[in-house]
Amino acid sequence: MLRRTGRPALIGVVSAGLGLAAAELLAAATRPASGPLVAVGGAVIDATPTPVKEFAVRTLGTFDKPVLLGSIAVVLVVFTAVVGALTARRGWVAIAGAAAFGLAGAAAALSRPASTGADALPSLLGAAVAGGTLAAWSRSRPASRDRRAFLRTALLVTGGAVLAGGAAETVKRVRGSAVTKSREAIALPAAADPARPLPTGVAPGFYTDKLYRVDTALSVPRVDVGGWSLRIHGMVRRELKLTFDDLLRRPLIERDVTLNCVSNEVGGPYVGTARWLGVPLAPLLAELGVDPAADQLVARSVEGMTIGTPVATVLDGRDAMLCVGMNGEPLPLEHGFPVRMLTPGLYGYAGACKWLAELELTTFGAFDAYWVRRGWAARGPVKTASRIDKPQPFARVQAGTVTVAGVAWAQGRGIRGVEVRVDDRPWQKAELLPVPSSDTWVQWRYAWAATPGPHTLAVRATDGTGTVQPEERATPFPDGATGWHTVTATVE
């Protein structure tokens, strides 16, 4: 049975491994995003229904990408095992299986927004190597039936796959190291308009140590800052192309801004505050002469992601900017190096494109950005929200005075008040800690006279316009979650 099924199946898997390694090596040497795993993964993300995506983000968090790639690898192993087993009886299956492997990878690579014709080559090469190896091995009687010959061939092919895969990783590391070194060599100029000092009384944790990351990039783009440029075009009197040095020569502003993802559930972690350094966007667009009919600014990343931002929100006086720095350093690679866009008061999907490469002035009627095509609202103003960070859900605390604390945010409008409710008792005002501006979250705390037993704590905020955060729960889709955050704690 092992000879009839097990060995042919293993031949299929090992042959595919060699082909995949060869494909990834070529992709690493040309354009890493064209590798079959990343290309197919990106196509799967694009084809996944929005509810499934939201479930993945909610359930897996930042592990959603490794899980997706692992799932694709499992499917590939099963597929190639079946192809290998069938090839032992029908030789033509090797060619058909390899063709399916190559065409799927090539089609996925070419479907990516920033693809070129050359992006199909890694998958086609991988298919040729995998199919050729499988066919030759299956036709070789000693290699497929004699145990020692089989093991020698298996070790030889596996060794080739390991060497090719290792070479691919080495090439990626070398290229990534060059980008990292170029980032470390950047000396950011001082801001012409620096951020205000944090007011006295701000509690630890105002700035987020590790800002959340939610995006569709399975492989973090590593952009050579020396070759990077930004094109601004569309409904403007004149187009403009800027290099990174061009941006650094312009007057920079520095601001504390809270950024949050529209996928954030009530009480969720996808929100954080950082100090950003960048070029103010409104004056830059004014220089180019924006057509009054243009109502959408479409940002495109180096990987082809599109994010649409209302032009009015860029020109209404808020500190929309092209960010080059975060927390005193050049942008981290995973947060958009070398340049990202940031629009205070909008969810990230509507105003914070990472790895920026292009800005186009257009209209909402003429173009739907990536997330809008998937059913999300075209405009993404941040909703008033609040969260309890302390105590944690299901915590056990001692009776007496217990500090209940958390954050609340309504960027652009600010927070006027926060209230805490214990069980069904009346709402009580929480103390608001000082903030540098209305574009950041507000830290709050409440002294709770905790009595023994289980208790439910709830929080709600009132924004600067006097609007109270609604109680009704709504999921993030299509324009952001609503509802009061509650936690249960036991007092001993």
φ, ψ (nearest 5 deg) of residue 196: -70, 145
DSSP, collapsed to helix, strand or coil, labels residue 60 as helix
How far is residue 491's CA from residue 463's CA, in Å, rounded to a whole number?
31
- Cα angle 168, 172, 178; round to 5: 150
pLDDT at position 145 is 58
What residue type is assigned to position 322 of the chain?
L
Phi-psi label, residue 423: left if phi above 0, alpha if psi -120 to 50, beta otherwise = left
Strand 229-234 and strand 356-362: pairing?
parallel
How far is residue 42's CA from residue 52's CA, in Å, rounded to a whole number?
15
Query: Quick one: which H or E segment has residue 240?
Result: strand 240-243
Query: Quick one: which H or E segment has residue 80?
Result: helix 64-87
Tokens 């808020």 belong to which residue?
318
Is 192 exposed, middle or buried (CB count within 10 Å of its CB: 0-12, 13-18, 19+)? exposed
Other beta carbons within 10 Å of 121: 18
pTM comes to 0.86
Q: Where are the alpha helices (DSSP H) in 190-316?
A: 244-249, 281-288, 311-315
Residue 285 vs residues 295, 331, 340, 375: alpha-carbon distances, Å = 13, 23, 16, 29
How far is residue 136's CA from residue 379's CA, in Å, rounded to a whole number?
56
Residue 389 vs residues 262, 263, 478: alpha-carbon distances, Å = 19, 19, 26
pLDDT in tens, the chain (492 residues): 445 667 778 888 888 899 889 998 999 888 888 888 888 888 888 887 877 777 777 777 667 778 887 888 888 888 888 887 887 777 777 788 888 888 988 998 888 877 888 999 999 999 899 888 888 877 765 455 577 777 888 888 889 888 988 998 898 888 888 899 999 999 999 999 999 999 999 999 999 989 999 888 888 899 999 999 999 999 999 999 999 999 999 999 999 999 999 999 999 999 999 999 999 999 999 999 999 999 999 999 998 999 999 999 999 999 999 999 999 999 999 999 999 999 999 999 999 999 999 999 999 999 999 999 999 999 999 999 999 999 999 999 999 999 999 999 999 999 999 999 999 999 999 999 999 999 999 999 999 999 999 999 999 999 999 999 999 999 999 999 999 999 999 999
How far is residue 148's CA from residue 355's CA, in Å, rounded to a whole number?
52
Sign of the torsion formed by the C-alpha atoms of 487, 259, 211 and 57: positive
Residue 410 vs residues 3, 196, 287, 439: alpha-carbon distances, Å = 66, 19, 31, 8
DSSP, collapsed to helix, strand or coil, labels residue 66 as helix
How far is residue 445's CA from residue 462's CA, in Å, rounded to a whole number?
15
DSSP secondary structure of 150-162: HHHHHHHHHHHHH
Closest to 341 in 3D by CA, of 364, 388, 309: 309
Tokens 């205000």 belong to which residue?
196
pLDDT at position 215 is 87
Closest to 38 in 3D by CA, of 98, 100, 119, 158: 119
φ, ψ (nearest 5 deg) of residue 121: -60, -45
Closest to 344 in 3D by CA, of 212, 439, 206: 439
How far is residue 341's CA from residue 50's CA, in Å, rounded to a whole number?
24
**308 close to 298: Cβ distance less than 8 angstroms:** yes
Helix axes 36-47, 92-111, angle to 10 degrees: 70
pLDDT at position 76 is 83
- Cα angle 292, 323, 42; round to 5: 90
Closest to 266 in 3D by CA, of 483, 431, 119: 483
The token duo for 90 is 């029908």
Sign of the torsion formed by the C-alpha atoms of 297, 249, 283 and 312: positive
Q: For residue 245, give every residue at least 6 positions away whose Cβ sits within 8 Å of its Cβ, in sequence order, or none.
A: none
The token duo for 144 is 């497929």
pLDDT at position 205 is 94
